[in-house]
Amino acid sequence: MIFDVDMETLPRDELEPLQLTRLKSLVERVYYTVPFYKKKFDEAGVHPSDIHHLSDLKLLPFTMKQDMRDNAPFGLFAVPKDNVVRLHSSSGTTGKATVVGYTKRDVRNWAKLMARSFMAAGATHRDVVHNAYGYGLFTGGLGAHYGAEELGATIVPVSGGGTKRQAGLLRDFGSTVICCTPSFALYLYEVGLETGINFRELPLRIGIFGAEPWTDTMRRDIEDKLGITAIDIYGLSEIMGPGVAIECHEAQDGLHLMEDHFLVEIIDPITGEQLPPGTTGELVITTLTKEAQPLIRYRTRDITSLNYVPCKCGRTFVRMKRVTGRSDDMLIIRGVNVFPSQIETILLETKGLAPHYQILVKREGPLDMLEVQVEVDESFFSDEIKGLQQLESKISKNIKEFLGVTAKVKLVEPKTIQRSEGKAKRVVDLRGQS
C-alpha cells in the first residue's frame, strides 16, 4: 500500500515541473528573507530570476554545516520566530551544535512523510510501534512518533535506555514494528535472550532502522535473529529528521527519496561538480517546502548514488543507495581510503564472529595503525588459543586482500564491546593521544 499514492507515483514529467515551481519560489523566498542567502547569492553573482530550469540549481552556492553553526541559533530562519513551533538540535561530534526550526506546516509535512515511510516499510494503522529512537533534541524519537500517529498506528513512546525493560515491554504490548538504530536492535535482541525472550516468537514483524550506517550483511543478520523485515530509513536533522528517504518493503533495494519535498544531487566531494546518475559521491539536498529553515544545496557529507530506474513497488521517486559512510568518516590509513562499513562487511561475512566491533586508529611512530576489535560468537567461543589466532589472521588477510590495508585483528570475548542505546561508536581515533 502507498500512503500518498498520487504523489508517490507521480510520473517524472509531472514531478519535475512541480519541483521547479517549488524551487523558484524557495530561492526567491530565501533571497529576500535570509540575509545569509542574499549575501551568498550576491557573492556568487546569481539572482532568483536566473532559475529557469532544474539544472540551474548548480548555479546556486552550497550550504555547509559550518554555515549552520556560524548562524546558530536562529540566523537561518526564513520566518519570524513567532511562527516557529519546534526546535531540534544536533550536537554532532565536533564544534558548536546546529539548530533546526519548524513551523506548524513543517511539523505537519514531516509527520506525513514519516507516515509515508511507515507504509513503505509495510506498516499500517493496525500496527503497534515500539519507538526506541531517543525523544528530545534528537529528531528520531519525535519524528517517528508523529509519523506513526499520522498513520493511525498505536505508538509506544519508549525512547532510548532501559534496555532490559524495553525487551519486556516489546513482548507485553505485542509490538509489531520497532524503530531504533540497527546496533540497538542487536543489543535488545541480546538482552532479550538473557531474559528469556525470543524475538522470533513475538508478533514483531518490521524493523525501521537508521540514524547510523549499517550494511546489507548486518540487515540479513538482524532479519534472521529477530525474524522480521529490516528496513533502512535515512534522514538528518538539518534537513528535517528521519523520513527524507526510506526503502520500500517490496524491493528493499535502495531508499526512495521524498522528491516532492527534497531536490537531490550527487556531487564530487572534492571538486563540488555534479555527477551523473549512478555515480557514487556526496548527497546534496535542497529543501523544497521547508518554511522555518529552508536549506539550499546542503552538503550532507553522506556518500551514496542515485538510481532512477523505476521500482517494482510503483513509487516513482528516485532511489538512493544505502549510505555506507560519510566523507568525514573515511579513514585514510597509510594512503588507503577505508570506510568502517567495508570492514563491517568483512567481519559479518566471517563465520564465528558476533556483530559487535570497534575500530581503533592508533599512531605507531610516524605511521597510522588500524586495530579491529571484534567479538567472537558465543557458540564459537573457546579457550583454544590456536583456533582464535587462526581466525584473527584469516580476517586480517581478508581485510588486506579486499581493502588493501593492514589491520591488526583482536578477537575479544562475547559482550565486552560497549553496547549503544543510540548511535553506535564504531571508530575510536587515538591518534592525538600518544
- Chain residues binding ligand DLL by CB under 6 A are 90, 133, 138-140, 210-213, 232-237, 241-242, 300, 302, 323, 326
Please give the backbone phi and psi of residue 360, each rounded to the nearest 5 degrees, phi first: -105, 135
Q: Are strands 367-376 and 407-412 parallel, antiparallel or unpaired?
A: parallel
Give the full edge-to-edge strand order of the sheet including 319-320: 154-156, 128-131, 177-180, 206-210, 229-236, 241-247, 255-257, 319-320, 306-307
| Burial (CB count within 10 angstroms: exposed 0-12, middle 13-18, buried 19+), residue 235 | buried
Which candidate, 302, 301, 370, places its Cα nearest to that of 332? 370
Q: Cβ closer to ligand DLL: 4 or 216? A: 216
DSSP-derived secondary structure letter, 63: B
344 versus 376: smaller Cβ distance to ligand DLL? 344
- Which CB, 48 or 235, lies closer to ligand DLL? 235
Q: Are strands 306-307 and 407-412 parallel, antiparallel or unpaired?
A: unpaired
Select 156 or 409, whichever has its Cβ closest to ligand DLL: 156
Q: Which is nearer to ligand DLL, 51 or 178 (CB)?
A: 178
Q: Rounded to the nearest whole angstrom, what is the least distance from the CB of residue 121 to ligand DLL in the complex?
A: 12
Run of H or E residues at 179: strand 177-180
Question: Judged by CB, which is closer to ligand DLL: 37, or 133?
Answer: 133
Cβ 82 to ligand DLL shortest distance, Å: 26
123 neighbors 228 (Cβ within 8 angstroms): no
In whole angstroms, how close is the CB of 374 to ligand DLL at the nearest point?
20
Q: Which is nearer to ligand DLL, 90 or 350 (CB)?
A: 90
Closest contact distance (angstroms) between CB of 100 and ligand DLL is: 9
Dihedral angle at the C-alpha atoms of 373, 379, 384, 386, nearest 10 degrees?
A: -60
Smallest gap from Cβ 251 to ligand DLL, in A, equals 16
The answer to whether residues 380 and 254 touch, using CB atoms and an 8 Å cutoff, is no
What minimum distance in Å lies between the beta carbon of 55 and ligand DLL? 25
State in angstroms the smallest separation of the CB of 9 from ligand DLL: 23
Residue with cell 543478520: 221
Closest to ligand DLL by CB, 76 vs 391, is 76
Judge whether 271 and 261 are in contact, CB under 8 Å: no
Instruction: Tell me which residue has its CB nearest to ligand DLL.
Output: 210
Phi, psi (degrees; rounded to nearest 5) at 210: -170, -160
Nearest distance, CB of residue 238 and ligand DLL, angstroms? 6
Which cell numbers in the block locate residue 198?
Answer: 525470543
Query: What is the per-residue DSSP string for 270-334?
Result: TT--B--TT--EEEEEEESS-SSS--SSEEEEEEE-EE-SPPTTS--S-EE----EEGGG-EEET
Are β-strands 427-429 and 407-412 bridged in parallel, bridged antiparallel, or unpaired? unpaired
What are the DSSP calls for 358-413, one per residue?
Answer: EEEEEEETTEEEEEEEEEEPTTT--S-HHHHHHHHHHHHHHHHHHH---EEEEEE-
Closest to ligand DLL by CB, 27 or 239: 239
The whole-angstrom separation of Cα 145 and Cα 140 is: 8
Nearer to ligand DLL by C-beta: 378 or 429?
Answer: 429
Shortest separation between residue 194's beta carbon and ligand DLL, angstroms? 26
In the complex, the smallest distance separating the C-beta of residue 101 from ligand DLL, rounded to whole angstroms, is 14
